[in-house]
Structure 1
Amino acid sequence: MYKISIFNKGVETVINYPSADTSMPKILNQKLNKKRGQAGSLSFSILTNNAGYNLVTRIATLITVIDVRDNKEVFSGRIYSIKSSMDNSGLFKKEIVCEGEMNYLHDTVVHSIIYEDKTPLDMITTFLNAHNSSVEEYKKIYVGNINVDDWLFFTANLETTLDAIIKYVYNEELGYLQLRKVNGIKYLDYIKTTTDKIVNIELTKNMMDLIENDDKDFGTRIVPVGANNLTIENVNAGLNYLEDTRAVSEFGIIYKTVEFKDIETDIELKSQCLSQLSSYTTVKKSLEVGALDLATLANTSADMIDENTSVHMINSVMGVDETWKVVEYDVDLTEAWQPKLTLSNKAITLSGTLNSLLGGMVRNDGDYNGVQVGDSFGLRIKSDLVKILLNAKEGISISNNEKKVFYVNTEGNLIANNIVANDMKANRGVFNDIVTNNMIAKLMKTSSTTNYMILYDQYIEFYHQSQLRMSVGFDGVNNLPAIKLYGENGVEVAGTISAGSHMSSLGGNWTIENDSSLSVYGTTNLATKQELNELWINCMNTFVIK
C-alpha cells in the first residue's frame, strides 16, 4: 500500500513498492510513529540487495512515504540515523531512523534577544522568517493559520527555532501546533481548535483492545492567582475561587490553585480563568486502543485513521462513550489495518521526537508578571517602565524608562540618583556635592587627590601630598583641644598648641615645642624659650656696651 522513496540531490530511488512481485524493492520492519503537533518518525531495515542500500546518508538523504491508492503523502522527512550490522549468518543490513519535516526547524537557531509584549503570530513570523532566510528551499516552512491569543514576554537564548517555538510560544492549554502541506509548500499552524475527521471505534466491531488511564491532577473549585498573589474576591462576591458545578456534582469539592502570573487586574484574572475553567476541572484521561482500520480496505486513504483524527469510542462494558483526539499513531506499514492509537480528552504536551526539550528550562508561562530567569541575563523583573536586573556579570541595576537610576557592579561600586537613606553606614567612599542635615560621621575623606582632609569623630587631619601635616581637635589623650603640627615624615609631632586645662575658655597656658619652626604673625604674646634666652642675652650685651 505504501511506496517509499529516498532522494539524493533530487534523484529518486524507490526502496519499497507494494506489490506481490518479488522483483520489486522491499524494506523490512517498516514502523511509522506520528504524534499530533510533532515531527513524527519512520524506522526500517534495508538489506544489501536493495538499490538504496549504499545511497542512504544521514541528514542529507530525504525520504517520502506515499499511499499508492491516491498518491497521498503519509510521511516526509530525512534520514536521521543509520546503524550498520552483520549477523552470524553473514547477513548485512542497515537499520534506519527518519525524522519528519518539522524537525528542519532544528537546523537553525534564534538570536539571543529580549521579546516583550508579543503575540504568537508575531513570534512565529519572526522565527520562521529568520529560519527561511538561512536554509535551503526544501527546508523552508511558512507561517500558516495562527489564531491563538496570548501575551509573550521572554528572552530567546540561541535555542533551535523549533525548540524556541515550543518553549516560548506554544501553550498546550490554548491551542494546537501542526505542520500542514499544500501543493508541496509547508505551513506551520497554531490554532485554537482542529477540524478533525471523526472515526467510530466500537466494541465488537473494530475495537481490538483498550486501556484507560486517569490523571488525578484536577479540581472542581479553581483558585486563580495573578501577579503579586492577586486574587478575585473583589470581583467575585467575596469568593477566591470559580466553581464548575458539573464537576462538583460528579466528584465533590476539590480545590486547585492555578497561576496566571502575567495578569495584574482582578477582572482580567477572573475572565481568563473562566475561559479556561473546563481544562482544569476535566479529569485528564488517555486511552490506548488497538483498532481495525477498515478504511485500509477502501480505494482511498480519505477515511483512514491518523494523528489528525478524532475517534468516537464506544465500549459499554467500560462505560466509554466519548469522542477523543488521537495524539499518537503507531503502525507497522505492512499491517496498516491495525494501528495502535493513543487518545486523550485534554491538551497534549509536546515531547519525544522534538529532541526531548529540557524539562528544567524556564518557560515563558512559568514566570509571568515580568519575572524571568535566563542563562543570558540572570534574573530580570519588569513592571511598566521599570526594570530590575541581577546577574553575575553586571551586578544589580534598576532602570526607569531606559535610564539607569541605580547600579551596583560586581566589584561593589554603587551608582545611584537621589538617595534617601536612614541610618546609613559607610566605611569609605567618594561623595560629590553633598548637602546634609545633622550628618554624623566617624570618618570622612574630603578628596581623592594627594591633598585632602580626613574628618574623624573628634578631630580633623590635614594631608599635603599624602603626608599628614596638621591635626585639629581633641588630642585623643587628655581629650583637650589642640593643634598638632607634624614633621616631614608625617609621624613625629613637631609642634603642639594646646589649651591646657582651661579648655572652656581656651585662655590657659599655651606652649610651643622647641625647634618647631613656628612663625607667628600679628600681635601675640607667644614666644619660645630659646627666643626669650636670645632676647635676654641681646639686652644684656646692649647694657654692657653702654
Structure 2
Amino acid sequence: MYYITADGTHMHVPGAEERQIVNPMLSEKLDQIDSFTFDIHPNHPMYDALVQMRTQIRIYQDHDPIWEGRVIDNDDESDKTRSIVCEGEMGYLIDSIQQPYDEDFVLIEFLEFLIDNHNRQVDGWKQFKLGNVYVEEEDDADTARTSNDYQTTKAALDNVRTKYGGHFVVRKSDGVRYLDYIKEYTHVSTQPITFGRNLLKVTKSSKGTDIKTALIPLGKAIGNERITIEDVNDGKNYLVNEEAAKLYGLIWGTAFFDDVEDENELLAKGKETLTEVSKPKHTIQATAVDMSLLDRSIDEFKIGYKVPMLSKPHGIDDTFQVTEITRPLFEPDKFEVTLGGETDKISGTVVSGQVEAKQYTNEKVSIISGGSGGYLILDPPGDRPERLLIMDDPNKDKAVNVIQINKNGIGFSRNGINGPYENAWTIDGNLVADFIRAAKLQAGTIGGWIINDNAIYSDFVFDDGTTVYRVYIQRFMEKSLTDSWVFSVQKSSDGGENFGGIMYIRGDGLIVAPAGIFDRIDVGGPGVSIFNSGITCGANTAYPDTVLSIMGSGIARDNFSVYGTFYAAKGSIASSDRALKTNIKELDSTESEEFLMHLKPVEYVYKDDPGTVRHGFVAQDVKEAMAGRTWGVYENVELKQPLDAKGNPQKSKVVASVRYDEIIADLVKVVQSQNDRITVLESEVKALGKN
C-alpha cells in the first residue's frame, strides 16, 4: 500500500476519495536520475499546490519512505488533468555549478570540495553530506584536479565515476541526506529469475569485434619502451590462442599492464587476459516480475542488486545486475525489473531475439508452478468415468500429489489417491481448507465476522438483549476521517436497527470520539478524568483530594503552570547553551546597580496561604525599577485555569510575574563591579599608609 505526500501533506491516501492520483509510475535506472510521473485531476485539493522545481514529493510503502524527489514538470491535458513529472534527489546536483579549478586533492578531498561547492549554492533541503567512500585511487595517482569548464555538480561527479568506476548512491540516515561512493553493489538477491516463473523476456547480443585471438601484453613503461615477454616466451612478444584462432582466425590486440615490472608476471597476466578475450561475451538484457510484490517474505529487487538467472531455453545460468526498475504503483502485476551484463556461461542451443515466456507451453514448462507437468487420468477408463485424476505419477498407487474432480466437487491430497483430502471445494459451494492464501476475499462470513469490500465487522449482544455493540474495521466511517481505514466501536439500543459511533481509532493512530458521544471518561476510578476539552487529574472541584503523579521521565512543552509549590528534590536545571542564544553581550554594571538599588524587598503573605510569611518582591515594583527597560525580568503571564467538574475550561486570568532567576545575573554583575572598586580602594589605602 502506497502513501504519497507533497511538502508533507497527504496527496494520495488509499481509499480516500478526495485524495487520489492517477497512473503513478516510478522509474529507476542504474547511475541515472530516478523519475516519478502521475496524473492529478482538477477536483484534487492539491491540484494547484504543486510548484515546479520546489514541491517535494515522498513515496511511502506501508508507511516506510522509499523515494523522494521534486516536481519538475506540470502540464495540463485537454480535460484539465495535469501530468506531473518528478525527478529523484540526485537531480538536485544539477542545480549547482562547479567553476573552473586547479587544485591538488586526494579523491575524498575532491569529493568534499565538489559537495561543499554545491551546498553553498542551494537551499538546505537540496544539500548533501559526503558519506562512505569505498573507491580508492592507486597509490601513485596524480592528485592534481584541473577543469577549465563550467559544469554542473552532477556532471563533475559523472566524470569522477567515468574515471574510477563505481556508483554514487543517495542514502538517508536520521534525516541527513548522504552521498555514498561505492565500488560495486555486493548484495545478491535470494530471489532468482527463472524461466517459466517470473522471467518475461530476454534479449541476447554479442559483438565479434570484441574477440581477440592473438595478444601482445605490454608492461610498465621505461623511457620510450615498455617491458615485454620476449625473454620468457621463446623470443616472441605475443601470445596466440590456437583453438580460438582456428575458429575465428587471427585477430590481434594489445593489453597494457602499467604496474607490472616482472616479465614472468606479465606473461601470466597476458595468458589470463587472452583466455577472457578469445571467447565471445554475450550481453544479456532480461525483463522479469518482482515476486516479492505477492509475497513480502521474498527478497525484493533493488537497483544494483545481483540476481541469479536460470533459463534453460536460452542456455543461461549466471548472475546479472538489476539496471532498471519500472513500477506502476497501482498495478503490481506490471512491475518489471531489467537485468544487464555480460556472460560466457551460455550453453546449448540459444533462442535468439526477444522470446516471451508464455510461448513455451510444452510439458516441461508450467507457468503455474515452474516445474514439470502432471498426468491426467480418467478413472475408471471408459465412456463414463467416475472421476478425473491429476497426479504427479501415472501410477495411482505411486502418486503422492493428487487432484480429484468428481460430481461432488474438487479435492486436493498430498498423501496419495486415498487421501486424506485436506482441502476440498464441494458442489454446494462450501470450501474446506487447512489454510487459505488469497490476494482478495470478495465477501463472506468467517466465525461470525462479516467480510466485504468496505468492512470487517461483528456484533456482540449485551445481557439485556437489546443493546448491541458492533466492532468495525471499516472504510470511511465519517467523511471527516481522511484515512483509508478506521477501527470503531458502535452501539445500538434498538436491537441492531440503528447504530451510533462511540469511538474511532483512525489509520494515522488518532483516537477520536465524535462530539456529543460522551461528556467525561474516568480512567482508573475518579482520580483521572478525560473531557472533550482536556484531561484533569484531581485539579478540579469534583475531585479535590487527588493528585497528579508523573513517574519516570516526562516532557512538558510550551508553558507549564503550577498552582502551588513546585518542589524539585535535587534542584532544577535551565537550558543555557550558547547555541540556543543570540545577541549575547555583557551586562552594564551601572544599569544593573541602578536596577537593584530601586528594588523594594518586602515581606508578604499569599491570600490563599495566610499562615506563611514570605520574602520577595511585588511584580509591579520590579517593573518600576526597570525604568522602562524591556527586560524579561517582568512579564504579564496568562494562566490557564483548571477544568471544572464538567470538564469546561475556566476563564484564564493574567497576573504580573517576576523571573527571580534573571535577577541573579544583575546581582553577580554588581558584586563583580563592587569587588573591582574594593580592590582599587585597598590599593589606595595601602599607598596612603606607606606615605
TM bucket, shorter chain: 0.5 to 0.7
Shift of 1:303: 2.2
Equivalent pair of 2:216/2:270 in contact (CA under 8 Å): no
Q: How far apart in 1 are the matches of 2:243 and 2:2?
A: 47
Out of 17, 39, 44, which is 1:23 matched to? 17
1:324 is matched with 320
> Is 1:309 aligned to residue 305 of structure 2?
yes
Deviations, residues 386-421 of structure 1 (Å, cap 9, x unaligned): xxxxxxxxxxxxxxxxxxxxxxxxxxxxxxxxxxxx
Partner of 1:136: 123
Larger Cα-atom Rg: 1
Q: Secondary structure of 1:334's match?
A: coil
Give the direction of change, closer, same or farther, for the CA distance of 1:265–1:316 in structure 2 (3 Å limit).
closer
Aligned to 1:53: 47
Q: Which amino acid aligns with 1:334?
A: F
Q: Which amino acid in 1 is paired with 2:34? A: G
Give the TM-score normalised by the residue count of structure 1: 0.52
Structure-2 separation of matches of 1:235 and 1:190: 41
Q: Would you say 1:291 and 2:279 are equivalent positions? A: no
Contact 2:33–2:88 (CA under 8 A) maintained in structure 1: yes
1:74-85 equivalent positions in 2, closer than 5 A: 74-85=66-77
What is residue 92 of structure 1 aligned with on the other side? 80
Task: Name the amino acid aligned to 1:79.
Answer: V
Q: Distance in 2 between matches of 1:283 and 1:178?
A: 32
1-side partners of 2:285 and 2:161: how far apart?
25
For residues 335-360 of structure 1, the C-alpha deviation after alignment (integer angstroms, 9 at most, x for no partner) is 2344333222259xxxxxxxxxxxxx
CA distance in 2, matches of 1:321, 1:183: 41
Contact 2:186 2:306 survives alignment (8 Å): no
Q: Residues 445-494 of structure 1, C-alpha deviation per residue, up to 9 Å, x if partnerless? A: xxxxxxxxxxxxxxxxxxxxxxxxxxxxxxxxxxxxxxxxxxxxxxxxxx
**Letter matched to residue 321 of structure 1:** D
Q: In structure 2, what is the equivalent of residue 505 of structure 1? A: none
Q: 2:155 aligns with which of 160, 163, 167?
A: 163
Flag structure 1 segments of 5+ consecutive residues without an equivalent.
348-546
The SS at the match of 2:185 is: coil
Which residue of 191, 206, 209 corresponds with 2:182? 191
Moved more, 152-161 or 125-134: 152-161
Within 5 Å, give how 1:6-405 maps onto structure 2.
6-7=6-7, 12-17=8-13, 19=14, 21=15, 23=17, 25-68=19-62, 71-86=63-78, 91-115=79-103, 118-150=105-137, 151=141, 153-156=144-147, 157-167=149-159, 169-171=160-162, 174-198=165-189, 199-220=191-212, 223=216, 231-233=226-228, 237=232, 254-257=251-254, 285-299=282-296, 303-345=299-341
Determine which structure has the larger strand proportion and give its number. Answer: 1
Q: Mind listing any 5+ residue stretches in structure 2 that lack a counterpart?
A: 344-691
- SS of 1:124's equivalent? helix
> In the alignment, what sits opposite 2:521?
none
* 2:18/2:43 contact within 8 Å kept: no
1:234–1:266 Cα contact (<8 Å) kept:
no
Corresponding residue number in structure 1 for 2:2: 2
| Superposed counterparts of 1:440-479, under 5 Å | none
Give the structure 2 partner of residue 437 of structure 1: none
Q: Shift of the alpha carbon at 1:273?
A: 7.8
Deviation of 1:178 (Å): 1.9
Give distance in 1, aligned partners of 2:243 and 2:65. 43
Distance of aligned partners of 1:95 and 1:235 in 2 relative to their CA distance in 1, 3 Å threshold: farther
Q: Distance in 2 between matches of 1:252 and 1:177?
A: 42
Answer whether contact 1:84 1:95 (CA < 8 A) is retained: yes
Partners of 1:334 and 1:206 lie apart in 2 by: 19
C-alpha distance 102-321 of structure 1, shift in aligned 2 (>3 A) = same
How far the C-alpha of 1:176 sits from its partner, in A, is 2.5
Question: Is the 8 Å Cα contact of residues 218 and 256 (structure 1) preserved in structure 2?
Answer: no
Inter-partner Cα distance in structure 2 for 1:31 and 1:229: 57
Classify the secondary structure of the residue corresponding to 2:92. Answer: helix
**Aligned partner letter, 1:233:** T
Q: Could you tell me how far 1:144 is from its partner in structure 2?
A: 1.9
- Asked if the contact 1:6–1:15 (Cα under 8 Å) also holds between the matched residues in 2, the reply is yes
Give SS of 2:81's match: strand
Question: Which structure would you say has the larger RCO, counting Cα contacts within 8 Å and 6 or more residues apart?
Answer: 1
Query: Which SS does the other structure have where 1:304 is aligned?
Result: coil
Matching residue of 1:451: none
CA contact (8 A) 1:35 1:328 kept: yes
Cα RMSD of the aligned pairs, angstroms, is 3.8
Post-superposition shift, 1:274?
7.5
Distance 1:196 1:247, change over 3 A: farther
What SS does the corresponding residue of 1:49 show, helix, strand or coil? Answer: coil
Alpha-carbon distance change, 45 to 288 in structure 1, aligned in 2, over 3 angstroms? farther
Pair 1:136–1:249, CA change in 2 (3 A): farther
1:329 and 1:274 mapped to 2: Cα distance? 38
Shift of 1:165: 1.1
**Residues 255 and 270, structure 2, Cα contact 8 Å, conserved in 1:** no
The answer (yes or no) to whether the contact 1:177–1:191 under 8 Å persists in 2 is yes
Aligned residues: 330
Distance 1:259-1:72 versus aligned 2 partners, 3 A rule = farther
Residue matched to 1:483: none
